[in-house]
Amino acid sequence: MFFGPEHIPLENGGLSYYPQYIDDPDTLYQLLRDNTPWQQPVLEVYGRRHVSPRLVAFIGDVGVSYRYSGYQHIAQPWPDVLSSLRDKIVIDTGYEFNCALLNYYRDGNDCMGYHSDDEAVLGSDPCVASLSIGCPRDFMLKSKINKRPAQKINLASGSLLLMLPPTQRYWQHALPVRKGLSQGRINITFRKVLLSPQD
Ligand SMILES: O=C(O)CCC(=O)C(=O)O
Ligand SMILES: [Fe+2]
């Protein structure tokens, strides 16, 4: 099955949303939930250290590492299921990705605060491809240059959201707490870390 994408324009940016990008999200969800070496690192956000409010894993090509939130992530090798998914996303979008950050939100209490995926190692205008499986959750976007209300997109299981350049430069995004949700969700953001200046 393949629907979309739906283009969602943003002032100084833009999104492409594929509501049903993969066929069998439930199987992929269970496979990743049960076979990923999940970690719960101590993160440093705005100078304060706290245990991450979700579980994480970082996978990628040999030699890729990625420092964010005060923590150095060394890539684990790609499981087959994710390298073939990466290949499909590269073909469908025309963007390259050499690593992926996995976030496991165990229930509605797990969350991610407002931030941009704008680390220097991603280059000046990255495209980030975000695949969601499991419990649908609200994804919020707010502008860095005006105070208009945040936009909300409910990310369906099996959906792919592309955050197109220059979205990371002008927007922040978050996954807020949703008390009462007992189901888990896994999000995979495919990224391209630059390994040398000419990449
Ligand atoms: O879980 C999500 O949908 C967002 C994840 C995210 O923003 C990130 O990993 O940087
Ligand atoms: Fe992000």
Give the number of other Cβ atoms within 10 Å of residue 196's Cβ. 5
How far, CA to CA in Å, does 111 sit from each of 103, 106, 178?
9, 9, 8
pTM: 0.95
The C-alpha atoms of residue 22 and residue 133 are separated, in whole angstroms, by 9
Residue 39 binned pLDDT confidence (cut-offs 50, 70, 90): very high
Structure tokens that stand for 138 in this block:
């609200």
Residue 2 binned pLDDT confidence (cut-offs 50, 70, 90): low
DSSP string, 122-154: G-SS--EEEEEEES-EEEEEEESS--PPPEEEE
- 56, pLDDT greater than 90: yes
Instruction: Name the percent of the chain lying above pLDDT 70.
Output: 94
pLDDT at 72: 79
pLDDT at 46: 80
- 101, pLDDT greater than 70: yes
- All structural domains of the chain: 6-191 (2.60.120.590)
CA–centroid distance, 196 to ligand 1, in Å, is 25
- 31, pLDDT greater than 70: yes
pLDDT digits (tens, 9 = 90+) for 138-169: 999 999 999 999 999 999 999 999 999 999 99
Our CA angle for 81, 17, 93, nearest 5°, is: 60
Is the model more confident about 105 or about 66?
Answer: 105
Is the model more confident about 48 or about 79?
Answer: 79
Our CA angle for 99, 102, 107, nearest 5°, is: 170
pLDDT at 1: 54
Is the model more confident about 47 or about 76?
Answer: 76
Residue 197 binned pLDDT confidence (cut-offs 50, 70, 90): low
In sequence order, the 6+-apart residues with CB closer than 8 A to the CB of 143 are 10, 11, 12, 170, 171
Nearest CA to ligand 1 atom 5: 187
User: Which atom of ligand 1 is nearest the CA belonging to 189?
Assistant: 9
> Residue 99 in contact with residue 66, Cβ under 8 Å?
yes
Nearest CA to ligand 1 atom 1: 187
CA–centroid distance, 162 to ligand 1, in Å, is 12
CA–centroid distance, 71 to ligand 1, in Å, is 16
The ligand 1 site (C-beta within 6 Å) comprises 101, 103, 112, 117, 130, 132, 139, 155, 173, 175, 187, 189
CA–centroid distance, 72 to ligand 1, in Å, is 17
